Amino acid sequence: MPGPITFDEVPPDASAMIESMRAHGYTLWTALADLIDNSITAESRHIWIDARWDSTSPWISVTDDGQGMSEKTLVNAMRLGSQNPIQQRHATDLGRFGLGLKTASFSQARRLTVLTRRCKKRTDIRRWDLDHLARPDVRGWQLLRSLHQDSEAHADRLDFYDLTHGTQVLLEVLDRLTGAQSQAPSESQQVDHFLEQIERVRVHISMVFHRFLSKSEERLEITLNDRRVAPWDPFLERHSATQVEPESSHPGGLPVTFKGFVLPHADKFGDDTKAHKRAGGPAGWNAQQGFYLYRADRLIIAGDWLQLKWQKEEHFKLARIKLDIPNSMDLDWQIDVKKSTASPPPVLRPWLKGLASKLRDRAVAVYRHRGEYRQKGQVETPPERPWRQVRNGNEYRYQIFRGHPLLAPLIRSLSTTKRQELETLLKLIEETVPVETIWIEKSENAEGATPPFANMPDTQLRKIIEMCHAVMMKDTGKTAGEAWETLLESGTFQTGPAHAIIAQLRTETS
């Protein structure tokens, strides 16, 4: 018979444990998103985020009109590890580890106070205070039952928003947000940093919770400093030039769905540069390409190729993919406490890579041909352009297309000697195209590249168009109207100003 089991109880030191938990790598925006998750799980319809600067005690509050908690539920919610991550949960539960409220809050603040009510008559309060736990006369995990004296002015949001039920999470002593005293930032620097961080919170929330904010029924409303947060749609589903792939389910029956989108080329935004920039997303067009992983409608990953050995490159920037998984697959996808990283399980990788490869090819086609390719695999013949890519295996170069409808007539009109001279000049241009420099500059400053003829005065562009029109009529025998149509379809004059000038000239000459 084995002897009795002997052991030592080794509870962690409360202050040391919580101080260590502060290094989970949250940013302010990912921390507040974690708090919003709790509000959504509590079936809230309104969430108010108040972030107020005070030179002596800045504070942030997240208040919701959700179900609220009983005192017993509140105490358990404040417990570290209040939920076993392997337990089955409701499909709409956005939590997992029972740590989000605490780790998210401690990452930014040294004082966490939660006030909750299920009816107007009673409000329960619990507080974690890291400075209290650090006192030499304090032992154990003392969860305080009252407000700090400095918190009373801010712990009023349930009454401020006239809520009969709901919860307020109050973060104070924001040492991670305002900067350590040893760094000695000036107050103006601290204020600027604070405001910048709050604006990043707004952008992050508009992206992560855009499905909840966009629902036609039971829509969620989030207000940040008295301004409603508008949703950001990563897929531009309402844009007429967005190409949408039919949704695909995993052939093996796993609860994963794939839906691909090729976003519009920049030309399809016309002169609306603000709309194009907003469509690019918080990090810009290049950074936002790839997979968008949703778990229970909440965005987990926003633009990533999910370790499929692909790099983010300029010519794939129009490819975005929507992936949906249930919260029951958290462990399979290795979703972390912050809900900001994930890795697809091996069984899904071939399927994801096969579908994504096809979408990437389509995105490249739209990128190179300025959006002429159409959805559902239907490809129109791209317009003839002056430049063509010539491939030989993995090698490629760029060549001026001699058969272009504007260049071919000029070549035919020249004498043999002049034709040879022009050919020599064209080859010199082709052999010295700075391809590497173009790609580097494009990847580093994609938005800085100007479209063809963008900086050319209209009078000069008009003369070029008139000359091309005259050459085409003379060489091909086309009528004036037919020549205008050919110019429009040639792919050479795809900019807004060029189209407008051609339309005007066609009206003048008809």
> pLDDT tens for residues 453-478?
777 888 888 888 888 888 778 777 77
pLDDT greater than 80 at residue 328: yes
Burial class (CB in 10 A: 0-12, 13-18, 19+), 298: buried
Q: Which amino acid is at 173?
A: V
Tokens of 53: 């600067």
Sign of the dihedral through C-alpha 76, 82, 88, 94: positive
Most confident of 122-126, 337-341, 480-484: 122-126
What is residue 335's predicted lDDT score, i.e. its pLDDT? Answer: 85
d(CA 123, CA 168): 10
Phi, psi for residue 501 in degrees, rounded to 5:
-65, -40
* pLDDT one-digit tens code per residue, 398-422: 888 888 777 887 888 889 999 999 9
Q: How many Cβ atoms are within 10 Å of 485's Cβ, its own excluded?
A: 14
What is residue 434's predicted lDDT score, i.e. its pLDDT? Answer: 85
443 pLDDT tier (thresholds 50, 70, 90): low
Sign of the dihedral through C-alpha 499, 501, 503, 509: negative
Burial class (CB in 10 A: 0-12, 13-18, 19+), 451: middle
Q: Which amino acid is at 426?
A: L
pLDDT greater than 90 at residue 489: no
pLDDT greater than 70 at residue 96: no
Q: Out of 25-29, 358-362, 476-480, pick the least confident.
A: 476-480
d(CA 275, CA 509): 35
Contact call for residues 318 and 367 (beta carbons, < 8 A): yes
Per cent of the chain over pLDDT 70 is 87
Q: DSSP strand E in 266-379: where?
A: 290-295, 298-304, 319-325
Q: How many Cβ atoms are within 10 Å of 10's Cβ, its own excluded?
A: 5
Contact call for residues 105 and 36 (beta carbons, < 8 A): no
Q: What are the distances in angstroms from CA 459 to CA 205, 209, 497?
A: 47, 48, 11
The mean pLDDT of the chain is 85
* pLDDT one-digit tens code per residue, 122-152: 999 999 999 999 999 998 899 999 999 999 9
* pLDDT one-digit tens code per residue, 33-53: 999 999 999 999 999 999 999
What is residue 84's predicted lDDT score, i.e. its pLDDT? Answer: 44
- Report H helices in 22-97: 28-41, 71-77
* pLDDT one-digit tens code per residue, 252-301: 889 999 999 999 998 888 888 899 999 999 999 999 999 999 999 999 99
pLDDT greater than 60 at residue 387: yes
Is the model more confident about 338 or about 154?
154
What is residue 17's predicted lDDT score, i.e. its pLDDT? Answer: 84
Contact call for residues 141 and 79 (beta carbons, < 8 A): no
**Closest among 330, 354, 357 to 344, alpha carbons compared:** 330
**Closest among 352, 339, 347 to 306, alpha carbons compared:** 352
The predicted model scores a pTM of 0.72
* pLDDT one-digit tens code per residue, 201-258: 999 999 999 999 998 788 899 999 999 999 999 999 989 899 999 999 998 889 999 9
